[in-house]
Chains A and B, each alone.
Chain A
Amino acid sequence: MSLVNSGLLAWLAPLGAALVLLYMLRMKRRDVVVPALFLWPDRTEDVRANTFIQRPRLSLLFWLQLLVFTLLVLALAKPQIRQEGLSGGLTVFVLDVSASMSATDVRPSRFAAARQVVESALDTLRPGERLALIEAGVEPRVVFPLQNDTGTQRRLLREVEPTDTEADLSQALRLAGALVGTEPGARIVLLSDGVSEPVRDFNPGKAKFVFHSIGTGDRNLRIATLGVRDRLAYVEAENTSGTQLSGQLVVEIDGQLLDSRRFVLGPGKTLGKTLTLPREGQIITARIVATDQLSADNFASAAIGPAGRLRVLLVGRGNLFLERALTLDPRVTLDRASAVPPDQAEGYDIVIFDGVTETALRAPRVVNFGGLGSQWITVTGEAKTSEAKLDVSPGPPLEGVDLSGVYFGRTLRVKPKGGAETVAESTAGPLVIRTPNGFVTSFQPLESDFPLQVGFPIFIANLIDALAPESGLAPIEVKPGQPMSLAINSPVTLVHPDQTRQRLTPNDGTLVLRNLDKVGIYGLELADGRRSILVTMASPTESKIAPQVLLETTAGRIEAVRAPTQLADFVVPVLIAALVALITEWVFFMRKS
């Protein structure tokens, strides 16, 4: 038991002393003459005192009165007891919905156990207490805000499902901190197995942070690698647990068995296999048949053929807007570098120079933002400010891009040369120039407000589309939870891995898919055929499912609690006890009077 106002206990000393002093006052008794004193028992029960000092007679009445005083002072000190549970006051639950939470070491799953914790908290939610739930997936989502509407909260809780994604616990916890970080006594409760990247930049503020770790086991096998190059495929299985595990690795091409073998792997060991692919086939899948505790990483799929992916190298000092716009394209596999030697550029489909001088490369496609070092332009000067010329009809890379009101800072005054042509102009001259092997812009994105415009990711998508080889209906590879966009005009049907069908309507010619959070092969039924979307987990972090008891944060390690407890007010029981003691004292007093 702890006390909110423990200083009030100091009042017990003077109160107790005053009570003892009262009992030291002797009763002023009325003299009554009786005929036979020997018939009267020598029985005194001092219930009143009003004169003179005597040695205190500490009767049961005294102890009862002292108990009443003690209980009343204790109630004023606001006692709290520690009890199992996680609700009370303001509580924000952060529920990890990442892939590792689907592990079945806790029956039926870690996620179900975590959800049950929230259910239990809702069951014990008392009037005046409020509870919020944040789903920690790829992006944090507030399932329900701080409220005390258990009916609605339960319904919304039931709608939360586990995913095969990686969780960004940092963002979710920061959101929780923003909700209750200024509230003293509030609590942020993370329901997770702790299998995640270290938590960064999280400060619970005045709220208390509780990490409730869920999970007991680590038995897991995963497809660590499934890569295709030319007509060869490399598949690798890994035992991520601390015990020896066995299983069967099955590789198929378009559903036809290519290879199958049983294996036994020691802790942390891998099994790699190179397979020759047949001439026909679009999709290669690998799966592990085993009784491990996480099934999401037992499956991987990859597209056979070059159209499936696009390797892009971004050379620059770092541009978050550009990186996010590029990764929106499901085909893009993005690498970053601040500078790159010419012989290292081989293997990339597109190299993008962002504000750095272009290096002569043998890469097939080049985009140069800022135009520095480009062989396709002649720099004639520099303009401090410029705006796009809207009276000039923009070329293909700017289709659907609204440049009105876009402010460009420093731009180069350039002239295209050697077969290059201007596709968009500003008041300072050519803005976007198509070159034989790509595009050159006279502006750097970070020296304009273009990245803040809606049209920027469309512009980048158009650039990639213009430079990428025609892909047609080639399969697309994405990670679980990764949003992707496709240039589609008519409504389509998305078939999920569990064969449920979902009708989708594109918006302004772009179909954005955000709910591909389960591992498997999705089918997108288009007007001209079916396009597969291959969702593979491939997350070493999520596959190491051993529950963590220490949560890594930038502020240090936070130890998990197995049986979470909460401080609950104990004032009412103390007051009831005081009342009972008072009634007992009164009855005792009446019987003695």
Chain B
Amino acid sequence: MNAIPSELQRLLSGLRFQPRRRFRGSYRGERAVTQRGTSTEFRDHREYGEGDDLRHLDWNALARLDSALTKTYRDDQDLLVAIWLDGSASMRMGTPEKFGLAQLLAMALGWTALTGGERVSGGRLGQPHRSYRGRSLRSAFLQALTSEGSARSQLDLIDQMRHAQIALPHSGVIVLVTDGMHPDFPRTLATLPKSGNEVWLLQVLSREELEPDLEGDLRLVDCEGHGSHDVTANSATLTEYRRRLDAHLLACEQAAVRGGGRYARILADEDPVTVIKSNLLRGGWLA
């Protein structure tokens, strides 16, 4: 899958990322930031202070009002959007597979960011990430999201996230599309905002995870090779599973939200258009 449905493209056309805070980019871009910059778009006056650049002194105002005012301007800078798509084995679970919707959402968000002039980094976790900018690189980015396998793919989610974080050129919005099925995921997630990043977590889950249809005496095998153990899937066991799952999901949400980020829980069988409308648009993620 290396194309975004046209219906989705129409929906996303003209939409821009709406981070909760402003980031300073490396290149002059199309995004207005709250920091007073040096672009030609006048923003406001303020009293002249010692050390201000005399080039920005409003001489007309000084002549008319006899008051030294300095002009401030809107500064157009690009936004770094890091899109991390979890391609671990657990994402291949469920009916339909969680990875299908997760991949489509990552592609859509990358497409939107590049279309909006943002600088996009990332790809599938576990693979080398590179930066993309400009509409011409949208296909390349989509290609990166759909390519399979590399040396790092054997690492687990936590290690992959650490590697991806190191590879970030500077802080920005980290869009993480994953199921978060790792016991250390909430803790690792909570470290990302400390580097100045804003985390947007799209947690994709399957219905089988929420309501497992298991019964009897089983040997459960972790899909990512984290061992196995015997379980008698009775009501007590299922109750305990649901309790642990709820606690884990809550921890994931709190880790994302407490760092000033956004969180959405999505089921793998949901329609992507509905997901974008009900979660991303209505939630103010995109506008």
Contact = CB atoms under 8 A, between A and B. Distances in A.
A39 B241 contact: yes
Interface string A529-548: 00000000000000000000
B267 to A, nearest CB: 14
B214 to A, nearest CB: 6
B237 interface: yes
Given A40-B241, A591-B235, A32 B229 contact: no
A31 B94 CA distance: 16
Contacts of B241: 39-41
Nearest to A35: B90
Contacts of A44: 217, 230-232
Contacts of B206: 35
Contacts of B214: 32
Contact of B244 (A29, A41, A47): A41
B234 A592 contact: yes
A47 B232 contact: yes
A163 B206 CA distance: 96
Contacts, number: 102
Contacts of A39: 181, 241, 244-245, 248
Interface string B195-223: 00000000000100100101111111111
Contacts of B226: 37-38
Given A41-B231, A47-B217, A33 B237 contact: no
Contact of A36 (B90, B228, B231, B236): B90
Nearest to B206: A35
B44 interface: no
A590 to B, nearest CB: 9
A592 B248 contact: no
Contacts of A42: 229-231
A41 B222 CA distance: 13
A586 B182 CA distance: 38
B51 interface: no
Interface residues of B, number: 37
A36 B181 contact: yes
B183 interface: yes
A43 B94 CA distance: 24
B49 interface: no
A574 B287 CA distance: 77
Interface string B125-156: 00000000000000000000000000000000
Interface string B151-188: 00000000000000000000000000001011100000
A464 to B, nearest CB: 99
Interface string B226-254: 11111110111100110011001000000
B93 A43 contact: no
B223 A35 contact: yes
Interface in A2-49: 27, 29-48
Contacts of A502: none
A404 interface: no
A380 interface: no
A274 to B, nearest CB: 100
Interface string A162-203: 000000000000000000000000000000000000000000
Contacts of A36: 90, 181-182, 209, 222, 248
A35 B221 contact: no
B22 to A, nearest CB: 36
A499 interface: no
Nearest to B237: A43
Contacts of B245: 39
Contacts of B222: 33-34, 36-38
Interface string A553-593: 00000000000000000000000000000000000000111
B234 A593 contact: yes
Contacts of B179: 35
A46 B217 contact: yes
A40 B94 CA distance: 17
B23 to A, nearest CB: 33
Nearest to B89: A35
A591 B231 CA distance: 14
Nearest to A26: B230
Interface string B261-276: 0000000000000000
A37 B230 contact: no
Contacts of A32: 214, 218-221
Given A36-B90, A36-B209, A43 B232 contact: yes
Nearest to A590: B234
B229 A40 contact: yes
B229 A45 contact: no
B259 to A, nearest CB: 23
A31 B227 CA distance: 12
B234 A34 contact: no
A40 B241 CA distance: 5
A29 B221 CA distance: 11
A31 B216 CA distance: 11
Interface in A354-408: none
A589 to B, nearest CB: 10
Interface string B85-96: 000011001100
Contacts of A592: 232, 234, 236
A42 B94 CA distance: 22
Contact of B237 (A29, A35, A41, A46): A41
Nearest to B227: A37
Contact of B221 (A34, A43, A48, A591): A34
A29 B209 contact: no
Contacts of B229: 37, 40, 42
Nearest to A43: B237
Interface string A496-532: 0000000000000000000000000000000000000
Contacts of B183: 38
A58 B214 CA distance: 25
A30 B216 contact: yes
B190 to A, nearest CB: 18
Interface of A: 27, 29-48, 591-593
Given A36-B90, A36-B222, 6 more contacts: A29-B218, A33-B221, A34-B212, A37-B222, A46-B217, A48-B217
* Closest 5 pairs between A and B when the two form their complex, measured CB to CB: A37-B222, A35-B90, A36-B181, A29-B219, A45-B232
18 contacts: A32-B220, A33-B93, A33-B221, A34-B212, A34-B221, A35-B206, A36-B222, A37-B221, A37-B229, A38-B222, A39-B244, A40-B220, A40-B237, A41-B237, A43-B240, A44-B231, A44-B232, A591-B235
